[in-house]
Chains A and B, each alone.
Chain A
């Protein structure tokens, strides 16, 4: 049986306790709000995309469960320094990982550390916690003024 420890892997517990890239950026040119009305998770992401279209800096702040905080922390880590043009693919890859069949192994080579969140597939009510930050970043990148939701 799928064990709780597979959801709450040490990496996730660590990122929850000490989230990376937490707080407001001094300099940013995109940002957006994300909100999950069902559980009250709230977050805000800040992105600074430089003239070379590289995500020079990225951060988040807010409150939420361990899965949503760890996911946001891991996301910022994974995307910092990457070209903004790669974001749609990263988004799709993550979205696919957390909604794919449980027997499908995550593409660890491409996903890197993000693969630790593959466990949420076993916990359908928690998938939205993992994807909230990604949807929020998507609306920041697309410069949408809508608050991102995962519902």
Chain B
């Protein structure tokens, strides 16, 4: 039995009031809140174990290193990576994609080659490829979406060719909630010899991911959308590919031997982790993943579907509201516009009732352009949200309509 009350009690931030109303946090696609166990793990590290990793011989450094590497092991297990060598800590999804574009892309994508992405990508899975393509003279292709916000697979198929070096696709769209059929995308891409990057920033807290079953070449995500700290994320790549890639940044930790003539690089995963990492963040990330594992994806999936259905039913009968993104396979995101009220005004108005939603382009401007809206309002749900909170959202939306009536 899913006990939402018990889960809410794990998140201290949720019990506060905003302008005298209970906080209703519905901006989970931007970032999730953090359970006490994650907050405790981060402060415990700073209170008891703070030291640099991989270099000290003293007790603190050994403890910090052990905890940092233990987090890597938890993450490897969670995504079913073949080994911890495939788990590279980054600042987040954005840095992970930039790493791949710069290191793998720089070495493997040449003039005349193609990179295929989709129309529903977040800016972080557009711009690095645009930069790379401009730099090397490759072409960026964009697979179109339909009015429901689903990838048009026929069009995707016809854009895929032996010129395609890499397919970059978002697992779950942050602006629309669409879940993409990544299994078949990966299979099709591999059939033409392309590598596949899955942007899991939005998905990893909601869907179970097994990188071996998927057979994806790169899977990237951010801790802060999975109840973990900001500033830390992960790139999970196939060891066979990571081995061939040149380093991304140079510095400490990524070397084995340095002279002024020549540097010998460290082994995986350290080759890609130059400088002192976000140690506390990694430890908090590991704890956040354990938190998800304790609840389990079966329960999470059931609950989030239930909540989305509840919210969608309300949205469908709400006068003057148009949903943006109605994919059949969809999760946790209710993006919408209203006839009489601009999303920005909506955001301000519902905030005064304690309801936190996002208003804007969600770092996915091409999605806004496709639906011909300057922005949308977006409510995004998580395991700790309740039907009562959905009611509060719609009551606040009604109030906004009244102001502009």
Contact = CB atoms under 8 A, between A and B. Distances in A.
Interface of A: 1, 4-5, 7-8, 13, 16-17, 38-42, 63-67, 123, 125-126, 129
Contacts of A41: 344, 374
Contacts of A67: 344-345
B404 interface: yes
B360 A66 contact: no
A4 B20 contact: no
B403 A126 contact: no
B403 A129 contact: no
A13 B404 contact: yes
A39 B403 contact: no
A7 B359 contact: no
B359 A66 contact: no
Nearest to B347: A125
A5 B403 contact: yes
Interface of B: 19-20, 341-345, 348-349, 352, 359-361, 365, 368, 374-375, 403-404
Given A4-B352, A39-B375, A64-B344, 12 more contacts: A5-B403, A38-B360, A39-B360, A39-B374, A40-B360, A40-B365, A41-B344, A41-B374, A42-B374, A66-B341, A66-B404, A126-B348
B344 A39 contact: yes
Nearest 10 pairs of A and B residues by beta carbon: A65-B344, A65-B342, A40-B374, A40-B375, A66-B345, A65-B345, A8-B403, A4-B352, A40-B361, A39-B360
B330 to A, nearest CB: 23
Contacts, number: 51
A17 to B, nearest CB: 8
A85 B325 CA distance: 49
B403 A13 contact: yes
B342 A66 contact: yes
B20 A1 contact: yes
Contacts of B360: 38-40
A41 B341 CA distance: 14
Nearest to B361: A40
12 contacts: A1-B19, A4-B348, A4-B349, A4-B403, A8-B349, A13-B404, A16-B404, A40-B360, A65-B345, A66-B345, A66-B404, A67-B344
B267 to A, nearest CB: 42
Contacts of B344: 39, 41, 64-65, 67, 126, 129
A40 B352 contact: no
B374 A63 contact: yes
A125 B374 CA distance: 18
B348 A7 contact: yes
Contacts of A17: 404
A109 to B, nearest CB: 29
A17 B340 CA distance: 9
Contact of B374 (A1, A5, A64, A126): A64
Contacts of A4: 348-349, 352, 403
Nearest to A13: B404
Contacts of B342: 64-66
With a 10 A CB-CB cut-off, give which of B343, B365, B368, B374 has the most chain A CB atoms: B374
A8 B345 contact: yes
Nearest to A40: B374
Contacts of A8: 345, 349, 403-404
Nearest to B404: A13
A66 to B, nearest CB: 5
A63 B343 CA distance: 12
Contacts of B20: 1
